[in-house]
Amino acid sequence: DTGVSQDPRHKITKRGQNVTFRCDPISEHNRLYWYRQTLGQGPEFLTYFQNEAQLEKSRLLSDRFSAERPKGSFSTLEIQRTEQGDSAMYLCATTPMGLAGGLAEQYFGPGTRLTVT
Amino acid sequence: GESVGLHLPTLSVQEGDNSIINCAYSNSASDYFIWYKQESGKGPQFIIDIRSNMDKRQGQRVTVLLNKTVKHLSLQIAATQPGDSAVYFCAEGSQGAQKLVFGQGTRLTINP
């Protein structure tokens, strides 16, 4: 257990429905990342926050996806009008800012497995 | 649990032997490299990292080697144990990009 929690762990939804996932980070970590992972692949970057500011979004993140981190603590990832291609594991990772603003190890949560039927 | 990585490169070793997992990275501007272990149904677990100003770093039973000339990273696991069975991912990042890019992953299987 890394200290990063995600909820729910599994979600099955029908195509066209909206879903929302939550990530609770390690409390002193100011950076929070969302990734998507499909079978046979490594995690793919979606977006990241530094405190409450969303600093980057991947081109993978269509306009049906939105993420928030309103108070710089927990974060939510919402997918609107889900499609079967959205089926994947959605991972959250948090990290303190590295030395001189560089990267540091990211601590991953257990993920939310989304299945769109 | 569910399977992670059905069609990954695989490496099978005998329990007690040393394992070497290799990774080629793509971006010559990358200055941070990290290895993760992922067990079925779980999120990736940090193993070890290295910055580009180093070529070797050791942890407990693990060593990471970085060859910037050929953009190659390796993870050595000494005296492998059954609990080392998992999928291993390398990832690269840079201060400019502030995010990690993951490689394909290698499935390590330990034979008794």
Q: According to the model, what pLDDT value does residue A60 have?
A: 79
What is the band of A100 on the pLDDT scale with cuts at 50, 70, 90?
A: low
**Chain B partners of A33 at a C-beta cutoff of 8 Å?**
99-100
Contacts by A50-58 with C-beta closer than 8 Å and gap 24+? A50/A97, A55/B98, A56/B98, A56/B99
Beta-carbon separation of A41 and B2 below 8 A: no
- Res. B4: pLDDT tops 50: no
Task: Please write the tens of the pLDDT for every residue from B20-64.
Answer: 999 999 889 899 999 999 999 899 999 999 999 999 999 999 999
Contact of B58 with B76, CB cutoff 8 Å: no
In percent, how much of chain B has pLDDT > 90?
78
Residue B55 is given by DSSP the state S
Contact of B50 with B64, CB cutoff 8 Å: yes
Task: Give chain A's mean pLDDT.
Answer: 92
Contact of A30 with A43, CB cutoff 8 Å: no
Q: According to the model, what pLDDT value does residue B72 have?
A: 94
Q: According to the model, what pLDDT value does residue A1 have?
A: 81
Average pLDDT over residues B65-85: 95
**Chain A partners of B3 at a C-beta cutoff of 8 Å?**
39
Beta-carbon separation of A91 and B44 below 8 A: yes
Beta-carbon separation of A45 and B31 below 8 A: no
Count of other CB atoms within 10 angstroms of residue B20: 12
Among B31, B2, B102, B30, smallest CA distance to A115 is for: B2
What is the band of A72 on the pLDDT scale with cuts at 50, 70, 90?
A: confident
pLDDT-wise least confident of A58-62, A100-104, A110-114: A100-104
Task: Give chain B's mean pLDDT.
Answer: 90
- Res. A99: pLDDT tops 60: no
Q: According to the model, what pLDDT value does residue B7 have?
A: 57
Average pLDDT over residues A13-29: 95
- Res. A27: pLDDT tops 90: no
Whether A41 has its CB under 8 Å from any CB of chain B: the answer is: yes
What is the band of B6 on the pLDDT scale with cuts at 50, 70, 90?
A: very low
